[in-house]
Amino acid sequence: MRLIQNMSTIAECTAPGYSVLNRVIKIAVIGGSGVGKTALVVRFLTRRFIGDYERNAGNLYSREIQVDGDQVTIQVQDTPGAEMTDNGISLPDHVSCSIQWADAVVLVYSVTDRRSFELIDQLHQLVARSGGAGAPPVILLANKADLLHLRRVDSQQGPLLAGTLGCSFYEVSASEDYNQVHGAFHRLCCQLAKQPQQQQPTSPPTASGATEKRRSPLIPRPKSPNMQDLKRRFKQALSAKVRTVTSV
């Protein structure tokens, strides 16, 4: 996935080798198209909200964070949006594989999109089927809570559905409140960090079942304008020295 705005904040580059001492927590984010899955992931990992994205291709995001005083590597698998068709729910094979790979699943709907809310029950059933006896824990996020004038899902319906599904519920706004988003993901990470780590590949499997080497969007430190100026001046000085040597 490439970001349409603020390209310098998240760069696609080869994932680094993680320390063997670091706990790796793997989270898959699943929901309908346009509910803000990518915005939530980026908000959680970078504190930034970016409103426009290219079509979700399903990227793996990674970052090291502190959980209960321990350094933990978080891997968050963004997934393409699910769609409701006449024959039921339509999902890429990659999504089912991501569920099997993940330690936990975040189900997302938008309070402005009734159909995305109606998808949640079927997506939860998919998680239960894909995980089998060892189905991963699930939390339910209702996004775009700030768009009160566009709300199509009553604020009480989310908690009622979460209670039926047996999962935690959070109503958040990726655009307006970082603390809400961070709190939901961080509490899930704390819960997972207390569980014994399963020996699973750190890269999500492909539809064929093999692990896939992926490019992971990381968060580089922004380059200092002063450093860029120094590099430019150094190159100019080096070029002048080469010309002087050549002329001699």
> Which residue would you say has higher pLDDT here, 85 or 114?
114
**Per residue in 191-213, pLDDT tens?**
998 887 765 555 555 555 454 44
Minimum mean pLDDT range among 19-23, 34-38, 159-163: 19-23
Residues in the chain, overall count: 248
- Give the pLDDT score at 43: 94
pLDDT higher than threshold 80 for residue 247 = no
The answer to whether residue 146 is domain-embedded is yes
**Whose structure tokens read 């760069």?**
11
Q: Is residue 111 part of a domain?
A: yes
pLDDT of 235 above 80 = no
b/e code 56-95 from CB counts within 10 Å (16+ = b): bebbbbbbebebeeeebbbbbbbbbbbeeeeeeeebeebb
In a domain, 120, yes or no: yes
Classify residue 163: in a domain, yes or no.
Answer: yes
Between CA 92 and CA 31 the distance in angstroms is: 12
Confidence of residue 22 (pLDDT cuts 50, 70, 90): confident
User: What mean pLDDT is predicted for residues 8-18?
Assistant: 38
Please determine, for residue 222, whether its predicted confidence score (pLDDT) is greater than 60: no
Comparing 230 with 169, which gets the higher pLDDT?
Answer: 169
Provide the pLDDT confidence category of residue 19 given band limits of 50, 70 and 90.
Answer: very low
- Name the pLDDT band for 185 (thresholds 50, 70, 90): very high
- Please give the residue range of the domain that contains residue 56: 23-194
CATH number of domain containing 112: 3.40.50.300
When the pLDDT of each residue in the chain is averaged and rounded to a whole number, the result is 78
Question: How many domains are there within the chain?
Answer: 1
What pTM, to 2 d.p., does this model score? 0.74
| DSSP summary character for residue 195 | S
Pairing between strand 104-110 and 138-143? parallel
Report yes or no on 60 lying in a domain.
yes
